[in-house]
Structure 1
Amino acid sequence: MSRATREAYRDSLLPLLGRHPELMCLDSDTGLFNAEYAATAGDQYLNLGIAEQNLMGVAAGMAACGRIPFVNTMAAFATSRALEAIKIDIAYNRLPVRIMATHGGLAAGHLGPTHQALEDLAVMRVLPGMTVVVPADAAATEAFVEQSVSLPGPLYVRLGRKPTPALPAAPPPVIGQAQTLRQGGDVVLASCGPYPVLACLAAADALAGHGIEATVLNMHTLRPFDTETLVAAARPASLVVTLEEHWRSGGLGGAVAEALSEAAPTRVVRLGMPDQFVSEVGNQEHLVAHYDLTAERVVREVRAALDGAGSPAGSPAGSLAGSLS
């Protein structure tokens, strides 16, 4: 069943407000919370309007006074327009603010580059003490919201806009622990977010038909990063491929390359958005296909790398990262 991660967050937060009077829901006129929701939440819901810097400042003040605010805005605005407030007011003071950022990646594709968030993971994961999470489906979102209540320090959660399919049945994800969705000894496919994780699972099925067994890792937490699980999967493999709905620099691919270069040098292929602003017009599904963030792309890249042929010519989403050894 398809369900939007942002709606899963909204629906799981309301019962938590009733059980935890210290929680607050701070909105920025997102339209995600209707009048009935606001009435049920009562004094624990405040709509501060489209003023993201103020949103983060108010959240920091509340957190400093013992509250745990969940702040709601779009990912592009949280990590650019309000970044100074996040860095200085929230991260510097290690305050328990939960930044629930909708329209992550290409989810706001139809609104263009001003609303697309292709740098948010890179920006947020370098902030000391910031936990950074990308749920791959609604069930994972619900689990992370529940876990966040007792999580120390600030948290950034990248959410989508439209419904996305559920992952195959698996144990509930835990913040900070990568999920191994499939075991295989030849290559590792690491990804985060709904479309990339589903693409890697489909790619693993296709690669098995070519005699290539792939481990699939859902690296939903970019900080703190689960280096132990990644290294254990990478050691027997000849190749690690990352796929993300993010520019190739600084996001999941960067985190994987950094971890392996120090702990287990391995050849890494980083797949993601090319180093340019989006010029194509379309919704998220159209842009994911246009920029080839797909299972078919992963299969081509794995086979080309293992054959020693390099990256296919004309590939729009970036080239081989080369060896880290």
Structure 2
Amino acid sequence: MANDRSQREDYAAPLRRLLLGVILLCLLGIFLVWRIDSPRVERFRSQITDQVVPSMNWAMVPVTGAINLLRDFQSYQRLSDQNRELRSELRQMRAWKEAALQLEQENARLLDLNNVRLDPRLTYITGVVMADSGSPFRQSVLLNVGARDGIVDGWAAVDGIGLVGRISGTGRNTARVILLTDAASSVPATIQPSGQTALIAGDNTIAPIIDFLENPDLVRPGDRVISSGDGGVFPAGLLIGQVAADPSGRMRVRLSADYERLEFLRVLRHHGTESVSDPGTIVTPAGPIDLTLEPPTEAGDG
């Protein structure tokens, strides 16, 4: 067994050397053929190229496929990186779009506030609605302005369309607004064009009740309801809403203020109507009046 192995090794070594020598001679011949500049050698090279290169296409197919696969993988990686960058930019653009929409909405609310027609003698303080603390038993919101800004209990609060409520409770930096829909809210009002006076009373619904009408027959759905200014709580002429009838036929007010989107409120500075306690100088003379009458003198005396 060992002898057979040693014999095979003895034959294999000379064969390897012979094969290596043949390969070296072939390579040397190819090198010489490719380096010799001669027309015959050039024709010979062309014939070899024409015979060998077309027959090597089958061997180049895997190499070409591997190169194309590598290129496709690199292209896919570039597309993946671009897709990731585009997704990141899209998220940023969506965030910017949302911020722009919020700014646009806030700007629209502020423009709506500027469109409210108020008595030029009234001044106001604009506040942002911080929280809606409404509940089934209490309808109110919080503003980010308070006693530090001069807010006083009882002042009216309006949005971009109409009356929203009144200040009821102030802190240093915040104030609570009782909405017209709250059960504790009662506003003296005038119904136009009939001129009927009434009381708008909240009942924790979106449409407060119209109470104490002088002549209900003169009131029709769609009539405008404005504050009358009676009692000196609210300024006169603030838009409240329009008359509407519920299914039972009871008169209510469809409020003009947008209670679904209360973002900015304008608090009106109103110190009430000054009452006249002393008569003016135009009504009575400055001095005291002499009420004594002198008796008429008869003709013919002395």
Q: TM-score range by the shorter chain?
A: under 0.3
Provide TM-score, normalisation by structure 2.
Answer: 0.21
Q: Larger % of strand: which?
A: 2
